[in-house]
Amino acid sequence: MGGIRHPFTLKRLAAFSWCFHCERVNKTAAWLSNGWECPSCGAYAELWTWGDVRKIVSSYPGVPTVGGLYALYR
Ligand SMILES: [Zn+2]
């Protein structure tokens, strides 16, 4: 997974990416194979790495549930 980078920021992405639009997590490979549209809601390239979400909400698990809803502030 280490070779996948964000299409705009070119930031190196981890195995899981979180959607800023619908707050759901999917595998980064699923974003890539979906043309960088969110596999859950279709938002284009609004992904954060899961690790950045966990810096804000440290109680979230290292391995999230695929398709799971993880609110950022609540
Ligand atoms: Zn989404």
For residue 59, the CA-to-ligand 1 centroid distance in Å is 21
Residue 69, SS3? strand
For residue 3, the CA-to-ligand 1 centroid distance in Å is 22
Above 90 in pLDDT, residue 55? yes
**Segment 29-56 mean pLDDT:** 97
pLDDT attached to residue 1:
45
For residue 28, the CA-to-ligand 1 centroid distance in Å is 12
pTM value > 0.85: yes
Above 60 in pLDDT, residue 74? yes
- Phi, psi (deg, nearest 5) at residue 50: -60, -35
Residue 22, H or E segment: none
pLDDT-derived band at 67, boundaries 50, 70, 90: very high
- Per residue in 16-42, pLDDT tens? 999 999 999 999 999 999 999 999 999
